[in-house]
Amino acid sequence: MTNSISLPSKFNQFLLAFKGVPAISIAILVTFVFFGLFGSFFLPYDPTEMDLMSAEKPPFWMTEGSTAHILGADEMGRDVLARLIGGASVSLQVSLVVILLAGSVGITIALLSGFIGGKVDAVLMMVTDIFMSMPYLLIAMVLAAVLGPSKNNIILILALLGWAGYARILRSEVLRLKDQDFVKLAEVAGCSKFRIMTREILPNIVNTLIIMATLQVGTVIIAESSISFLGLGVPPPEPAWGSMVADGRDFLTSSWWICLWPGLAILFTVLSCNLLGDWLRLRLDPKFRQIQ
Amino acid sequence: MLPPESTKEDMEAMRISLGFDKPLYVQYWKFFSNAIQGDFGMSIRWQRPCMELFLERFPNTLLLGITSMIWALFMGLTVGILSAVYHGRWFDSFGKIIALVGQALPVFWLGLMLMVLFAEWLGWLPTSGIGTWQQLILPSLTLGAVFAAAITRLTRSTMLDVMDSEYIKMARTLGIPERIVVIKQGFKNAAIPVLTLAALNFIVLINGTVITESIFNWPGIGRLSVEAIFARDYPVVQTIVLIASSLFVFMNLLVDVLYAFIDPRIRYD
């Protein structure tokens, strides 16, 4: 009698890797990224072009609506769909650059703080704690008011206020890894501190970094749109989802569609990021993989 | 702050009265020592002490914040516990959807949509302002939504962990009614992470009040800070940021102390 354990075939293994993939979330995010990158080729209208003749035109299924403005037009006759696509590009730029900046600062601080330890750790963690205890929306608004509303300033501000979370969580990962045998072996083998940090520890915390980054996309989009909503973010006439909602605020009773669409766009994008982040955490964290 | 036709002497007098003739470290020390004694200087826009402005608005924010916390905790705990108890059934899916959508909702948009629905279309509630209890409903629903979602999610996952443990099986084996097992053995052990979240969400609550109060014209700290930022009234902004951050640090301390009361394991360590 032969005991054979049959492994799933290569093809089935490939399929298994995608088990439970949040397909709808990924589809929404792919759409978001696609229109964020190439939206300017698909614009039905110039998003900043005003046309007072079609001001407050409702979406096409309503009696006064027409297919010329599928999702309607805003109070200045600008096409809502075109502005949504333009807003996707703003949100994509802001969230990607913020995460890149905040993530790289956070990971550098986490490595230095966790691996070197001692006084360096104490000082860096004190700074991190100070940043984490600040009411970030308030600070972001103050900074935006001082620096002046612009897309680049918003990116800088959100990155400045966003790195602390990475530093905090990744540092604990570094601390956990620091005492493991492979790091000790590298030390014995005479690797420099820099090499251990970048070649031994960094690859092992990339998973956590990816999960955090995915989950942070949503936070950044909401923060950016909140600041734009209050009029301190991306300045008009450039379309941003937050300022589109603010524009429609005074026309809520007569033209609800000006507010509705950008809000739904934010909701679905953020929701998809969160779902994808949760799924990645289940996939990438070995602790959870066992339970699955 | 001075009329344009004022003389050089007037300007110099103003500079001296504001202390700008002293070196920076003297100015900073003066600000710091006054701030510790509760004197944050004068507001530029309102020409009143910042602390007075803050204290005048603070009760309103407190009322709004506590109301939102209460309903968010009530809603979050109920849905969270029931989701865990009926794990894998329809109520669980319902709870999961509520939690996920709630966490992805932009607060400013939710506020406007609730306003359109309940105030404009249905006409059940007033759109904004302060005074009656009806005016408290929409702002507190808006402010509490994100928080309720976070609590639901965390309660559900910690309850699932706890309900899987040996002592719960033990309690069931002893024949203790399920209702009591869930509340006394289950929830009491799941309460710690939820409590931490409640305290740490204080920052989220402050962020939320900034938006919620400006949408619903609620005269609290959040709207005060927006008004002050737009008026470039830095003493007021400074006051709010300083007090809010201190409150946050204090809340964290409070949680650490509360732990010891709730969980004897921490006390005996």
Q: Which of residues 109-138 of B touch A (CB under 8 A)?
A: 109, 112-113, 115-116, 120
Domain ranges of chain A: 26-37+60-291
Who wins on pLDDT, B194 or A97?
A: A97
Q: Is B98 on the interface with A (CB under 8 A)?
A: no
Minimal Cα–Cα distance from A51 to chain B, Å?
26
* Residue B199 predicted with pLDDT over 60: yes
Q: Is A126 on the interface with B (CB under 8 A)?
A: no
A225 to B108: CB separation less than 8 angstroms, yes or no: yes
B9 located within any domain: no
Under DSSP, the state recorded for A58 is: P
Minimal Cα–Cα distance from B111 to chain A, Å?
11
Minimal Cα–Cα distance from B175 to chain A, Å?
29
- Residues from chain B that touch A218, judged by Cβ atoms under 8 A, are 104
Q: Is A270 on the interface with B (CB under 8 A)?
A: yes
Residue recorded with tokens 């702002």: B139
**Pairs across A and B, CB distance < 8 A:** 101
Average pLDDT taken over every residue of chain A: 81
Of all residues in chain A, the one with the smallest CA distance to B96 is: A275
Contact B220, B209 (CB under 8 A): yes
Who wins on pLDDT, A244 or B201?
A: A244
* Residue A54 predicted with pLDDT over 80: no
Task: Name the nearest CA neighbour of A55 among A36, A79, A39, A37.
Answer: A79
Select from A218, A245, A266 the Cβ nearest to the Cβ of B112. Answer: A245
Most confident of A74-78, A89-93, B259-263: A89-93
Domain A26-37+60-291 belongs to what architecture? Orthogonal Bundle (1.10)
* Residue A292 predicted with pLDDT over 50: no
B25 located within any domain: no
A267 to B112: CB separation less than 8 angstroms, yes or no: no
pLDDT digits 0-9 by tens, B214-239:
888 888 888 888 888 888 888 888 88
Select from A230, A245, A275 the Cβ nearest to the Cβ of B109. Answer: A245
Average pLDDT taken over every residue of chain B: 80
Select from B115, B232, B249 the Cβ nearest to the Cβ of A252. Answer: B115
Best probe of the A interface among B108, B249, B256, by most A CBs < 10 A, is B108
Select from A133, A242, A267 the Cβ nearest to the Cβ of B245. Answer: A133
Who wins on pLDDT, A131 or B184?
A: A131
Q: What is the mean pLDDT of residues B51-72?
A: 86
* Residue A101 predicted with pLDDT over 90: yes
Q: DSSP letters of A219-269?
A: HHHHHHHHHHHTTSSSPTTS--HHHHHHHHGGGTTT-THHHHHHHHHHHHH
B65 located within any domain: yes
Best probe of the B interface among A137, A224, A259, A275, by most B CBs < 10 A, is A137
Select from A135, A139, A263 the Cβ nearest to the Cβ of B109. Answer: A263
Q: What is the extent of the structural domain holding B64?
A: 47-262
Minimal Cα–Cα distance from B197 to chain A, Å?
14
Select from B104, B116, B210 the Cβ nearest to the Cβ of A256. Answer: B116
Q: Is B100 on the interface with A (CB under 8 A)?
A: yes
If 0-12 CB within 10 Å is exposed, 13-18 middle and 19+ buried, where does residue A83 land? buried
pLDDT digits 0-9 by tens, B64-111:
888 888 888 888 888 888 888 888 788 888 888 888 888 888 888 988
Q: What pLDDT does residue A216 have?
A: 87
If 0-12 CB within 10 Å is exposed, 13-18 middle and 19+ buried, where does residue A33 land? middle
What percent of chain B clears pLDDT 90, i.e. is strictly above it?
0
Q: Is A253 on the interface with B (CB under 8 A)?
A: yes
Cα A211 from Cα A204, distance rounded (Å): 13
Q: Which of residues 70-109 of A touch B (CB under 8 A)?
A: none
* Residue A58 predicted with pLDDT over 90: no
CB atoms within 10 A of CB A284: 14
Of all residues in chain B, the one with the smallest CA distance to A149 is: B230
B34 located within any domain: no
CATH code, domain carrying B220: 1.10.3720.10
Q: What is the mean pLDDT of residues A155-171?
A: 89
Q: Is A267 on the interface with B (CB under 8 A)?
A: yes
B269 located within any domain: no
Q: Which band of pLDDT confidence, cut at 50, 70 and 90, is reported for residue A291? A: very low
- Residues from chain B that touch A247, judged by Cβ atoms under 8 A, are none
Q: What pLDDT does residue B103 have?
A: 84
* Residue A290 predicted with pLDDT over 50: no
Inter-CA distances, B195 with A176, B188, B249, Å: 26, 11, 15
pLDDT digits 0-9 by tens, A236-258:
778 888 888 888 888 877 777 88
ipTM computed for the complex: 0.80
Task: Name the nearest CA neighbour of A171 among A209, A136, A200, A134.
Answer: A209
B172 located within any domain: yes
A141 to B113: CB separation less than 8 angstroms, yes or no: no
What percent of chain B clears pLDDT 70, i.e. is strictly above it?
94
- Residues from chain B that touch A271, judged by Cβ atoms under 8 A, are 100-101, 104
Who wins on pLDDT, B6 or A90?
A: A90
From A91-105, A179-193, B171-185, B231-245, the region with the lowest mean pLDDT? B171-185
Q: What pLDDT does residue A98 have?
A: 93
A226 to B241: CB separation less than 8 angstroms, yes or no: no
B245 to A145: CB separation less than 8 angstroms, yes or no: no
* Residue A70 predicted with pLDDT over 80: no
Q: Which band of pLDDT confidence, cut at 50, 70 and 90, is reported for residue A234? A: confident
Q: DSSP letters of B15-27?
A: HHHTTTTS-HHHH
- Number of domains forming the structure of chain B: 1
B245 located within any domain: yes
B31 located within any domain: no
Contact A19, A48 (CB under 8 A): no
